[in-house]
């Protein structure tokens, strides 16, 4: 089995059906929300890393917007290659290992 990379994942994503792409994006949003929990202060309503939480939130927003684009069959907006580059860059900057993400995607 070959190692998954963001580049190979983009190629695979493009081959998925619309429904499979939506499942992939939904899982990505879910995973990012789980990683964002690491910014919270355990057992309280406090946030230890507000800047990082904001970046996670913005990434979720961008992926959700891209999801709407697929549902509508819209060709306008962010290209998938830009979305994947942004996901890779932001998660890396936030200290999330890409292997941990890719192995959990459908």
Average pLDDT in the chain: 93
Q: Are 106 and 24 in contact (CB under 8 A)?
A: yes
Using the structure block, give the residue that is written with the tokens 């917007």: 65
Q: What confidence tens digit (pLDDT) does each residue in 78-106 have?
A: 999 999 999 999 999 999 998 889 999 98
Q: What is the pTM of this model?
A: 0.91
3-class secondary structure, 40: strand
The number of beta carbons lying within 10 Å of the beta carbon of residue 89 is: 12
What is the structure's pLDDT at 102? 92
């Amino acid at each position: 089995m070959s190692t998954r990379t963001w580049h190979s994942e983009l190629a695979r994503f493009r081959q998925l059906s619309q429904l499979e792409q939506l499942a992939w994006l939904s899982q990505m949003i879910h995973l990012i929300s789980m990683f964002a929990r690491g910014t919270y202060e355990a057992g309280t309503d406090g946030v230890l890393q507000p800047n990082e939480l904001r970046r996670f939130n913005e990434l979720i927003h961008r992926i959700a917007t891209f999801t709407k684009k697929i549902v509508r069959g819209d060709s306008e907006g962010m290209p998938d290659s830009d979305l994947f580059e942004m996901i890779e860059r932001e998660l890396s900057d936030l200290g999330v290992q890409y292997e941990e993400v890719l192995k959990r995607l459908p």
